[in-house]
C-alpha cells in the first residue's frame, strides 16, 4: 500500500466515525437527558445553562408522581394488560399460523387472505364502533376493553404462518403414527420447536400493547385504570406541570423496555421489525 492510499483510508475512517458518532449522540442524547430530568427537581430542567448532571431528586420525583397519578397502580395496569395480551395473542396467532401453514382445509386461502387484508385497515375505522360496543357492554374502564379488540393480531398470524412452514411434515407424521392427537402435537412439538419465532412475535406484541395510546385513551376514563402512556399524557395536560415527575414517568415507560432490549438485542430488532429482516 502506498503512503497516499494509507492516508486516504485513515481520513475515510475518521470521517466515518465522526459521522456515525454524531448520529449516535443525536439518537442517545434525549434518553440521557430524560434520566437527568428524572433525577432533578422540576425547575432544574429549564436552568440556563442546562444542567447535564444527575441530581438527587429521583426518589422524591417518584413519590410525588405516585401521589399525583398513582404511578405504581399505573405500572401494574400497563404490565398486567401487556402481559395478558401478549400471552393470549401469541397463542392465538401460533394456533392459526400452524393451521394455515400445515393443514389443507376448505376455505383456507380465502380466510387467510381476508385476515391479510385486515393488516391494511387502519385501526381508526374500528375505533368508534368498538368504543360503542364497549360502552354498551358496560366494559369501559376495564382491562378487557383494552386488550380484547387486538387479540387476533393479523400481522402476528401472518408471521407465525411464515415461520411454521419450516416445520418438516415428517415430524408431524411421525408424531401421528405414535398416536399423538393434533392438540398434543401443537403444544408438545410445534410450540417448543418454534420458540425463537414465538419470542420475536411476543416482543412485537408486547411493545405494541405497552406503547399503545389512542385506544386506551378512548376506553379508559378513570385514572385508576390508566395505562402508562395515558397517564403520561394526562400529566402534560395538568395546569401545574411538574417536569421532574413527567421525566420520571417517561423514564419508567422507557427503562424496562430498554433493559430488555440491551439484553436481547437480536430478538428485539427482528421482533420489532416484525421479522421482516432475516439475519
Partner 1 sequence: MAANKRKRKIVTPKTAPYFFIAPAVLFFLVFTLWPVIQSLLLSFQTSTGGQSEFAGFDNYIRLFNDGLFYTALFNTFTILIIQVPIMLSIAVVLAVLMNSALLKMRGFFRVAFFMPAITALVAYAIVFMIMLDENFGLVNYALSLVGIDPVAWLNDPFWAKVSLIIAITWRWTGYNMVIFLAGLQNISNDLYEAASIDGAGKIRQFFSITLPQLKPIFLFTAVLSTIGTLQLFDEPFILTDGGPNNSTLTISLYLYLNGFRYFDFNYASAIAYVLVIIIALFSYVQMKVVGDDDD
Compute the least distance from the CB of residue 185 to partner 1, in Å. 9
130-169 binders of partner 1 (CB under 8 A):
130-133, 148-152, 154, 157
**Using the rule CB under 8 A, which residue among 75, 197, 201, 228 binds partner 1?**
228
**Using the rule CB under 8 A, which residue among 61, 246, 248, 275 binds partner 1?**
246
Nearest to 228 by CA among 246, 202, 241, 203: 246
Stretch that binds partner 1, among 68-76, 79-87, 193-201, 232-240 (CB under 8 A): 232-240
Compute the least distance from the CB of residue 125 to partner 1, in Å. 5
Q: Verify binding: residue 115, partner 1, rule CB under 8 A.
A: yes
Q: Is 163 exposed, middle or buried (0-12, 13-18, 19+ CB in 10 A)?
A: buried
**Using the rule CB under 8 A, which residue among 118, 140, 189, 264 binds partner 1?**
118
Query: Residue 48 or residue 53: which is nearer to partner 1 going by CB?
Result: 48
56-75 binders of partner 1 (CB under 8 A):
none
Nearest to 97 by CA among 156, 149, 150: 156
**Using the rule CB under 8 A, which residue among 4, 110, 113, 124 binds partner 1?**
124
- CA-based torsion, 125, 128, 132, 137: positive or negative: positive
Dist CA 113 CA 91 (whole Å): 20
CB contact burial 50-76 (16+ within 10 A = b; e otherwise): ebeeebebbebbbebbbebbbbeebbe
249-278 binders of partner 1 (CB under 8 A):
249-250, 253-254, 257-258, 261-262, 265, 268-269, 272-273, 276-278
| Orientation angle between helical segments 154-164 and 71-102, nearest 10 degrees | 50
Q: Verify binding: residue 83, partner 1, rule CB under 8 A.
A: no
**Using the rule CB under 8 A, which residue among 72, 76, 171, 214 binds partner 1?**
214
Query: Residues with Cβ < 8 Å from 264, sequence gap 6 or more?
Result: 199, 203
What the block records as the C-alpha cell of 188 is 408438545
**Using the rule CB under 8 A, which residue among 1, 183, 240, 263 binds partner 1?**
183
Q: Within 10 A of 93 (CB to CB), how many other CB atoms are there?
A: 26
Query: Residue 1 or residue 262: which is nearer to partner 1 going by CB?
Result: 262
Compute the least distance from the CB of residue 222 to partner 1, in Å. 15
**Using the rule CB under 8 A, which residue among 58, 79, 83, 92 binds partner 1?**
92
Nearest 5°: the CA angle 132, 135, 140 is 125
Q: Verify binding: residue 196, partner 1, rule CB under 8 A.
A: no
**Using the rule CB under 8 A, which residue among 236, 239, 240, 263 binds partner 1?**
236
Amino acid at each position: 500500500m502506498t503512503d497516499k492510499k494509507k492516508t486516504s483510508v485513515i481520513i475515510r475512517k475518521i470521517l466515518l466515525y465522526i459521522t456515525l458518532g454524531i448520529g449516535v449522540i443525536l439518537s442517545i442524547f434525549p434518553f440521557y437527558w430524560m434520566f437527568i430530568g428524572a433525577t432533578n427537581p422540576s425547575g432544574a430542567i429549564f436552568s440556563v445553562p442546562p444542567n447535564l448532571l444527575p441530581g438527587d431528586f429521583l426518589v422524591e420525583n417518584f413519590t410525588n408522581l405516585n401521589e399525583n397519578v398513582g404511578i405504581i397502580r399505573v405500572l401494574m395496569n400497563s404490565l398486567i394488560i401487556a402481559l395478558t395480551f401478549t400471552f393470549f395473542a401469541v397463542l392465538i396467532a401460533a394456533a392459526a399460523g400452524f393451521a394455515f401453514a400445515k393443514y389443507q382445509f376448505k376455505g383456507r386461502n380465502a380466510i387467510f387472505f381476508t385476515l391479510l387484508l385486515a393488516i391494511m385497515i387502519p385501526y381508526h375505522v374500528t375505533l368508534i364502533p368498538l368504543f360503542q360496543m364497549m360502552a354498551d357492554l358496560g366494559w369501559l374502564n376495564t382491562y378487557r376493553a383494552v386488550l380484547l379488540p387486538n387479540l387476533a393480531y393479523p400481522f402476528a398470524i401472518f408471521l407465525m404462518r411464515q415461520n411454521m412452514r419450516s416445520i418438516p411434515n415428517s415430524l408431524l407424521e411421525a408424531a401421528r403414527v405414535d398416536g399423538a392427537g393434533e392438540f398434543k402435537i401443537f403444544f408438545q412439538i410445534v410450540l417448543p420447536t418454534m420458540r425463537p419465532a414465538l419470542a420475536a412475535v411476543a416482543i412485537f406484541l408486547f411493545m405494541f400493547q405497552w406503547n399503545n395510546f389512542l385506544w386506551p385513551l378512548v376506553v379508559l376514563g378513570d385514572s385508576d385504570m390508566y395505562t402508562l402512556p395515558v397517564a403520561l399524557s394526562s400529566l402534560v395536560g395538568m395546569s401545574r406541570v411538574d417536569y421532574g415527575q413527567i421525566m420520571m414517568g417517561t423514564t419508567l415507560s422507557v427503562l424496562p423496555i430498554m433493559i430488555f432490549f440491551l439484553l436481547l438485542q437480536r430478538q428485539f430488532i427482528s421482533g420489532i421489525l416484525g421479522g421482516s429482516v432475516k439475519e
